[in-house]
């Protein structure tokens, strides 16, 4: 990623690249087309929503787009777990991606909480 917008955007971009590699493997080697397509769709959507958030016209729109990215990241967890548990991917491939995904999820959660004002102490 060349724009250098933020750490979370950079991590999401790198995660997308990693998922694209995994998708190519799943399709060419495992001949798996359905789960892998779902994984590709939601994982690459994380970064796309983050980029849309940075183009938002308001704080509310920013929060909405970041919450979409957060939801896609949570969905990505599901598909990665399903691919692991159905023996389409090895634990090492899973763990590498899941570690990065968990970092992204934590960052997005914090961003959404801050943007919506839900993390303020009373």
Residue 89 has pLDDT above 70, yes or no: yes
Domain presence at residue 47: yes
Number of domains in the chain: 1
* DSSP 8-state class, residue 59: H
Residues 29-77: tens digit of each pLDDT: 999 999 999 999 999 999 999 999 999 999 999 999 999 999 999 999 9
pLDDT, position 1: 47
Domain presence at residue 39: yes
Domain region containing 49: 7-115
- Please state, in angstroms and rounded to a whole number, the distance separating the CA atoms of residues 42 and 77: 10
How far apart, in Å, are the Cα atoms of 7 and each of 13, 19, 61, 115? 10, 18, 20, 16
Residue 81 has pLDDT above 70, yes or no: yes
pTM: 0.91
Domain of 64: which CATH number?
Answer: 1.20.1440.60
């Amino acid at each position: 990623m060349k724009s250098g917008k933020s750490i979370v955007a950079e991590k999401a971009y790198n995660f997308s690249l990693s998922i694209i590699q995994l998708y190519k493997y799943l399709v060419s080697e495992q001949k798996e087309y359905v789960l892998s397509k779902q994984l590709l769709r939601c994982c690459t959507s994380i970064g796309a929503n983050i980029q849309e958030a940075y183009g938002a016209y308001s704080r509310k729109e920013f929060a909405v787009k970041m919450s979409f990215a957060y939801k896609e990241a949570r969905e990505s967890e599901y598909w990665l777990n399903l691919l692991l548990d159905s023996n389409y991917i090895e634990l090492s491939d899973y763990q590498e991606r899941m570690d990065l995904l968990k970092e992204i999820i934590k960052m997005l959660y914090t961003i959404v909480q801050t943007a919506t004002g839900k993390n303020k102490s009373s």
